[in-house]
Amino acid sequence: MEENRILQLCRKRRSVRTFEDRPLSKEQTDEIRQFIEAMEEPFHAGVFFRFLNREEYGLSAPVLKGEPAYITICAKKGPYGDVAAGYAGEKLILHLCGMGLGTVWIGGTMDREAFTKASALSEDEMMVCITPVGVPAAKMSLRENLMRKGVKSDRRFAMPAIFQEEDSLHPALQDALYIAALEAVRLAPSAVNKQPWRIVHDSEGFHFYLERSLKKTEECDMQRVDLGIALYQFCAGLEEKNQDFRIVIEPKEREGLEYIASVIAE
C-alpha cells in the first residue's frame, strides 16, 4: 500500500542550512507567491509572509550558507499568533519541500531586528520566525553536520512518549487514518528537536498539549510554534484522506501540560 503524500513529504523534509548560491527562478518565485496568497489557517490570527531577497535587503544568518532568499513568518499580536504561525508556516514549508526546495525553521540564530525591519511590520504585528528558501547544496557544510549531530536531528520519540489513548472503544492506533496522521506529528520539526507535543485521544477527539522544555522568550514562544507545526501535520493527514474535522479551543487541564487546541473528527 503506497504511503500518503503528506507522510512522504514529512519523511523527505529536513532542516537545510547549506544551499546552492544561486537565485530562485521566476517560475519558482511565482509559485511560492501564489501559494502564499492563497494561504489560510484555522485560528484567524492574521498570519502573513514576507518574501525577502538576500542581496536586495542585505540580510544574513550565521547558521546558513548560500541561501538566496528568506521568508519571514508573521502574525498579528495576540494569544494564538505563535500557534497559527507554526500551522501556516509548516503548510508552506511542506509545499516548498514538494517543490524540491530547502528550508529550516529559525527563531533565534539571526539578527531579529534586521529581519523585523525588512518585514515592514505595523505596531500590532510581530515576526515569529524565518526560513531561508533555496536549492539544497549537494553536500552539507561542516557547521550544518555538527548542528544536526548536536541536536540529534534525525531522532524522534516513539509513539508512547507523545500519545495517550483514553478511548477504549475506538482506539486511534487501530485506525489507519489516525495512525498516519499521528506518525506525521511524530516526524514534525521542533526547536532544538525537543518534540514538545503531547496528544491525548478520548471519545471527544484529539487534544494537543505542550510539555514545556524551553523557556519562553520575549520575541516569540517557539514551543507554541512547534505545537502549531504538529497540529498542521496531523490535520494535513486527515485532509488527505478526506476526513472532515474542526479545530476547537476548549481547555482541558492536565497536570504538567499546557493545553493548546483540540481536533474533532466529524
For residue 1, the model assigns a pLDDT of 43
- Answer whether residue 260 shows pLDDT above 70: yes
User: What average pLDDT does this structure show over 160-178?
Assistant: 95
Q: Give the residue from 125, 145, 165 where a domain finishes.
A: 145
Whether the model clears a pTM of 0.85, i.e. scores above it, the answer is: yes
For residue 56, the model assigns a pLDDT of 94
18-44 pLDDT, tens per residue?
999 999 999 999 999 999 999 999 999
Residue indicated by cell numbers 500518503 = 4
124 with 196, same domain?
A: no
203 with 127, same domain?
A: no
Average pLDDT, the chain: 93
User: What average pLDDT does this structure show over 37-62?
Assistant: 95
User: What average pLDDT does this structure show over 145-160?
Assistant: 82
- Distance between CA atoms of residues 225 and 81, nearest Å: 9
21 with 80, same domain?
A: yes
User: What average pLDDT does this structure show over 80-92?
Assistant: 97
- Distance between CA atoms of residues 210 and 256, nearest Å: 9
User: In the structure, what pLDDT confidence band is assigned to residue 141 with cuts at 50, 70 and 90?
Assistant: confident
User: In the structure, what pLDDT confidence band is assigned to residue 173 with cuts at 50, 70 and 90?
Assistant: very high
Q: Give the residue from 118, 145, 172 where a domain finishes.
A: 145
For residue 108, the model assigns a pLDDT of 85
- Supply the CATH number for residue 187's domain: 3.40.109.30
- Answer whether residue 144 shows pLDDT above 80: no
78: domain range?
5-145
For residue 2, the model assigns a pLDDT of 54
For residue 142, the model assigns a pLDDT of 73
Which comes out higher in pLDDT, residue 43 or 143? 43
75 with 116, same domain?
A: yes
